[in-house]
């Protein structure tokens, strides 16, 4: 019998002992394999020379009853040889631990006081202990770890290994909706690393489970408003996660209504706030707020839920400055939501360029405080009337200036932007593509020689005038006329109505300077005059 199985080093794994009768040696293949993973690389071979010749028999037995088996050989010349088991590298530890859990390694061998101890912990960190130990060790990375102890006792070196299975510790993270409201189902979703076989310990702090179990996902409903502490810890294979705690405010009123766009109403010329209604969230009405000083907003209107979801600010002056607006909701109990992020209108200005046939446009950027809408482009519109403007050009949303060159006629200008998808106030059709600026009339900026090229030029005389100024229009204009006088800034300083028989006016109230005269009848006529 020339082969035996024996646990020579006491690690619980059978080693292979074999003899070679031709060269009189005994080989011990130390078994370092892990469960379910057997290969030739899992064995360490040690070979020993035996006295005598032609070994033909082998036995393994603990002759000195110290718990370590000796190897006994017999040969053909009637000699018996005993290999005493001198392994002193023996230790015990917990072979199944969780990641980052402390494992105590205790030496149980018989090495003398002068022996040296070398530990290979396979990535483990020593928390405490050294040398013979005991050692307190932890592994942060799951997997099978091989712990090896090598003892050098006066040149007699012995080695023993033990395997430790390090289990992963599950995590306990989960997510909630940004806003949760009473009497509405809220989705709670587990995002940790535990498996479906793990044990999940949820605390929903008074919430009722509408659906879900174990890992989830869950639908939870609360009937009372206020802060709630939701928590979770997970246990799997004896490993327990940290506890995740999330404090969440349960609202009694919907918090996510937003302004879609603020623009200038083409009918009234006033600022208009546009939003899209959210159905089924107990909205009774909407409050509109306007910035009156830096970051201070004043209430200006309440719009019932059943009304069109637009509001025209009759008190606005879009031709003078931009404005910021916010929105909130009131529910059926009178509770008000937080105010939404603000939206700010586009304000357009125009000035004469160099040369005077150039018109410089500048505008304020459109702002959505939340950043959900940032214009990709600004579109420049131009027309001879506010009602017939067409697209002239566009610029990147990064810019806020534009120069229209070679302008010889009075025009109206407007700046617009496009919001993807538009805005849907109440109806099923998007009727607002995006914000528009105020409409800017630049007739007061067009120079005298420019107007001379205009087919509807007025003949104004005397020019300059010091008392009475007269003007002429085609004889076909017999209806009531509207007459407007504007200064060089485009500001209207005089306005009245007359018929075609009274085409004169006094300039006594005007300061010396240059003025534009506009006469509106069936057509519109332009002229320039000076006051001495």
pLDDT, tens digit, 9 for 90 and up, residues 49-73:
665 666 667 777 777 676 667 777 7
User: Which two tokens mark 329?
Assistant: 């909701």
220: domain range?
A: 174-251
- Rounded to 10 degrees, the C-alpha dihedral 374/380/381/383 comes to 160
Mean pLDDT computed over every residue of the chain:
84
Q: Could you read off the pLDDT of 17-38 as tens digits, one per residue?
A: 777 666 677 777 777 676 667 7
Boundary-marking domain end, from 167, 192, 223: 167
| CATH code for the domain in which residue 143 is found | 2.60.40.1080
pLDDT digits (tens, 9 = 90+) for 227-236: 999 999 999 9
Are 114 and 158 contained in the same domain?
yes
Same domain, yes or no: 405 and 525: no
In 3-state terms, what secondary structure has residue 514?
Answer: strand
Query: Is 454 inside a domain boundary?
Result: no
How many CA atoms does the CB half-sphere of 428 hold within 13 Å? 0
CATH number at residue 224: 2.60.40.10
Would 18 be classed as within a structural domain? yes
Compare 103 and 160 and report the one with higher pLDDT: 103
Q: Hey, how many other C-beta atoms are within 10 angstroms of the C-beta on 367?
A: 19
Residue 24: inside a domain: yes
**pLDDT, average across residues 272-277:** 92
What DSSP line would sit under 459-511, residue for residue? EEESSSBSSEEEEE--TT--S-EEEEEE-TTS-EEEEEEE-TT--EEE-TTSP
Q: Which of 387, 417, 446 is the last residue of a domain?
A: 446
Inside any domain, residue 119: yes
Give the domain-ending residue among 251, 282, 306. 251
Identify the pLDDT of residue 447.
44
**Helix ranges restricted to H, 14-94:** none
Percent of the chain exceeding pLDDT 70 equals 84
Q: Is the pLDDT of residue 451 over 80?
A: no
With a cut of 80, say whether residue 177 has pLDDT above it. Answer: yes
Please indicate whether residue 380 or residue 439 has the higher confidence score (pLDDT).
Answer: 380
Distance between CA atoms of residues 99 and 119, nearest Å: 20
- The residue among 30 and 226 whose pLDDT is bigger is 226
Are residue 299 and residue 374 in the same domain, yes or no? yes
On whether both 342 and 482 belong to a single domain, the answer is no
| pLDDT attached to residue 288 | 97
Distances (CA, A) of 226 to 88, 177, 247, 248, 409: 66, 15, 10, 8, 64
Same domain, 319 and 468: no
Q: Are residues 184 and 289 both part of a single domain?
A: no
Q: Which DSSP helix (H) or strand (E) runs through 159?
A: strand 156-167
Q: Which tens digit of pLDDT belongs to each residue from 468-492?
A: 998 887 766 667 888 999 876 667 8
Total number of domains in the chain: 5
Lowest-confidence region among 165-179, 396-410, 451-465: 451-465
CA distance 118 to 135: 12
Least confident of 21-25, 378-382, 406-410, 482-486: 21-25
pTM exceeds 0.85 = no
């Amino acid at each position: 019998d020339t082969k035996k199985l024996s646990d020579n080093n006491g690690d619980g794994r059978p080693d292979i002992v074999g003899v070679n009768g031709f060269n009189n040696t005994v080989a011990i293949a130390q078994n370092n394999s892990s469960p379910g993973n057997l290969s030739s690389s899992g064995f360490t071979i040690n070979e020993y020379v035996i006295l005598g010749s032609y070994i033909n028999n082998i036995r393994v037995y603990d002759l000195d009853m110290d718990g370590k088996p000796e190897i006994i050989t017999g040969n053909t010349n009637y000699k018996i040889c005993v290999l005493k088991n001198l392994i002193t590298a023996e230790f015990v530890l917990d072979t199944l631990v969780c990641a980052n859990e402390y494992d105590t390694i205790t030496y149980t061998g018989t090495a003398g006081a002068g022996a040296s101890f070398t530990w290979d912990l396979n990535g483990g960190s020593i928390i405490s202990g050294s040398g013979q130990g005991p050692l307190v060790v932890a592994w942060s990375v799951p997997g099978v770890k091989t712990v090896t102890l090598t003892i050098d006792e006066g040149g007699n070196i012995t080695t023993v290994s033990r395997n430790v299975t390090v289990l992963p510790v599950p995590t306990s993270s989960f997510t909630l909706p940004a806003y949760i409201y009473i009497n509405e189902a809220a989705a709670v979703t587990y995002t940790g690393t535990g498996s479906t076989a793990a044990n999940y310990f949820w605390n929903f702090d008074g919430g009722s489970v509408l659906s879900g179990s174990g890992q989830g996902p869950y639908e939870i409903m609360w009937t009372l408003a206020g802060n709630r502490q939701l928590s979770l810890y997970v246990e799997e294979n004896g490993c327990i996660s940290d506890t995740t705690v999330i404090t969440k405010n349960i609202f009694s009123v919907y918090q996510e209504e937003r302004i879609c766009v603020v623009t200038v109403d083409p009918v009234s010329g006033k600022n208009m706030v546009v939003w899209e209604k959210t159905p089924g969230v107990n909205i009774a009405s909407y409050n509109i707020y306007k910035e009156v000083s830096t970051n201070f907003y004043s209430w200006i209107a309440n719009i019932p839920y059943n009304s069109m979801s637009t509001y025209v600010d009759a008190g606005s002056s879009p031709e003078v400055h931009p404005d910021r607006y916010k929105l909130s909701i009131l529910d059926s109990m009178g509770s008000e939501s937080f105010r939404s992020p603000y939206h700010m209108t586009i304000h357009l200005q125009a000035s004469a360029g160099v040369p005077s046939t150039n018109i410089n446009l500048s505008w304020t950027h459109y702002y959505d405080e939340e950043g959900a809408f940032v214009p990709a482009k600004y579109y420049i519109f131009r027309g001879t009337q506010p009602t017939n403007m067409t697209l002239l050009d566009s610029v990147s949303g990064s810019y806020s200036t534009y120069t229209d060159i070679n302008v010889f006629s009075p025009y109206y200008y407007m700046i617009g932007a496009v919001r993807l998808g538009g805005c849907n106030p109440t109806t099923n059709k998007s009727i607002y593509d995006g914000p528009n600026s105020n409409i800017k009339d630049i007739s007061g900026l067009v120079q005298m020689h420019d107007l001379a090229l205009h087919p509807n030029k007025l003949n104004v005389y005397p020019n300059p005038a010091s008392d009475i100024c007269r003007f002429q229009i085609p004889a076909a204009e017999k209806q009531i006329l509207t007459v407007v006088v504007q200064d060089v800034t485009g500001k209207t300083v005089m306005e009245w109505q007359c018929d075609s028989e009274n085409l004169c006016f006094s300039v006594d109230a005007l300061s010396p300077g240059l003025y534009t005269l506009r006469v509106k009848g069936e057509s519109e006529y332009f002229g320039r005059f000076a006051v001495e």
